Structure 1
Amino acid sequence: MPMIDLTGKTAVVTGGSSGIGLATVELLLEAGAAVALCGRNAERLTHAEQALRSRFPNATLFAATCDVLDAAQTAAFADAVEQALGPVDMLVNNAGQGRVSTFADTDDAAWTQELHLKFFSVIHPTRAFMPQLERSEHGAIVCVNSLLAQQPEPHMVATSAARAGVLNLVRSMATEFAPKGVRVNGILIGLVESGQWRRRFEARPEEDRHLDWAAWTRRLAAQKHIPLGRLGLPEEAARAILFLASPLSSYTTGSHIDISGGHSRHA
């Protein structure tokens, strides 16, 4: 049973064809919202759309390929969403993976690419949908961020720095948009099950081949000193996103929810 009835509300989820994004789309649809999702990979997006329509045959759903790093594509997507579903009430900015690199082996091109990805995957959709959000009585933006924003790792130096910048951006937008009636919040995820972790599992060394996924991730959680002893699930992050995007958090803006299983040490 959904925690809130979002019938009559419209949401957009970028990077919505897999992982946390897809889990968020599912929760929004369960709550009765009309949902638009986008992704860069057309095949993955089509597969996700088909699965969603099969699971939610009566749902109002719109899917389109869009690279949110392209301002023109993102603006066109925003126009298409409004034409298909009406003006948007909730925007979930969810795009981008981590870059494994140290300061010594991160060249200028890699820095530029990583900073551009993390910032403009938020900036372009926010700019494109802001006019619609301003017309909503419950306008809300949620940015999916990482615990790296407050707890950087030296082997992910560029991603950690970019994530910290996005945390600051969320707080700045929250202050600027509050008089317009649009709330802005974020989540800080720790280690959450994803395609990225699945690929690392499949590429595990020969001496670890006896470990199944559950055993491998338990060991990983122990190595990372995660108190809850496991990786998070996409739907656990999605529940926090749903809370922040919906009127359930109507008096919350400029905040971040920690979704790390106790891994956070910055407090």
Structure 2
Amino acid sequence: MTNAMTNLSGKVAVVTGGSSGIGYATVELLLQAGAAVALCGRDTQRLDSAAATLRAAYPQARLLAQPCDVLDAEQVAGFADRVQAELGAASILVNNAGQGRVSTFADTTDEEWTEELQLKFFSIIRPTRAFLPQLQSQAGTGANAAIVCVNSLLALQPEPHMVATSAARAGVANLVRSLATEFAASGVRVNGILIGLVESGQWRRRFDARPADEQDLDWTQWSQRLARKKHIPLGRLGLPEEAARAILFLASPLSSYTTGSHIDISGGLSRHV
């Protein structure tokens, strides 16, 4: 029964920020579940490399990769048109874009506030606006229509050294709830995940720039030390595929009676019941 409920054959899924990290892991799981997948990203070279790897691993898959800045309404609209023309109407949209900004209130400029809020909100607003007609058309045929937004535990547990990102993430949680209520009547579910510390290029870069007294640590030792410092009960950073599994659940009929919610993927870091 579980396999049948995660069989997405005949479905079209869209993943923004799909060329690396959680987005890439999500694309892989969606392909494994039988979906046709369209992914986009801003870095053309990284996108092409990801697409080549995916096509080699899944030669029978229907895959579309297109450079796209999700903050550019015209580019997003063009991406949506191409998805419908080449793959068919999307029934799954995974909004996954943006990384954290490390800054306090004292050192965050007005321009940085504007940039952060725009990224976190419009990376969801613009793809959702562009793909909503497709999602609604699929919901009407009895297909599973779902939007999944990748959010952060910062939405519930703000950090003073990430003040702008924390504030924006809280707003995204509210946005997910609002969209879920509005779209329910047209059969489109909207949910999100709250990630804690998950392995990513950003953390790898911090590892590469580690101070002299940590140079003797390899990645596993360094990341485990970081997890202890951050008081993560499971004692390690999460893996992109662990977040991707939660996304697949929320995108599939397994969660057909779930909307307006978030799944915690933080290794126990959350202090909320």
User: Would you call these one fold, judging by a TM-score over 0.5?
Assistant: yes
Give the letter aligned to residue 255 of structure 2.
Answer: S
Shift of 1:138: 1.4
What residue is the counterpart of 2:57 in the other structure?
Answer: 55
Is 1:198 aligned to residue 200 of structure 2? no
What residue is the counterpart of 2:86 in the other structure?
Answer: 84
Cα distance in 2 for partners of 1:30, 1:138 equals 17
Shift of 1:266: 2.7
What residue is the counterpart of 1:146 in the other structure?
Answer: 152
**In structure 2, the residue corresponding to 1:135 is in which secondary structure?**
helix
Aligned positions of 1:238-249 closer than 5 A: 238-249=244-255
- TM-score by length of structure 1 reads 0.99
Q: Give deviations 1:13-61, integer Å, cap 9, x for gaps.
A: 0000000000000000001000000000000000000000000000000
RMSD: 1.0
Cα distance in 2 for partners of 1:58, 1:131 equals 28
Q: Give deviations 1:105-150, integer Å, cap 9, x for gaps.
A: 0010000000000000000000000000001131100000000000
Cα distance in 1 for partners of 2:102, 2:212 equals 22
Runs of 4+ in 1 over 6 A off after TM superposition: none
Aligned positions of 1:1-267 closer than 5 A: 4-136=6-138, 137-267=143-273
**In structure 2, the residue corresponding to 1:251 is in which secondary structure?**
coil
Percent same amino acid among aligned pairs? 75
Shift of 1:222: 0.3
Give the letter aligned to residue 10 of structure 1.
Answer: V
Cα distance in 1 for partners of 2:182, 2:240 equals 30
**In structure 1, the residue corresponding to 2:30 is in which secondary structure?**
helix
Cα distance in 1 for partners of 2:222, 2:264 equals 24
Cα distance in 1 for partners of 2:61, 2:125 equals 29
Cα distance in 2 for partners of 1:91, 1:177 equals 14
* Consecutive unaligned residues in structure 1, runs of 5 or more: none
- TM-score by length of structure 2 reads 0.97
Equivalent pairs, count: 267
* Consecutive unaligned residues in structure 2, runs of 5 or more: none
Q: Give deviations 1:184-210, integer Å, cap 9, x for gaps.
A: 000000000000000000000111000
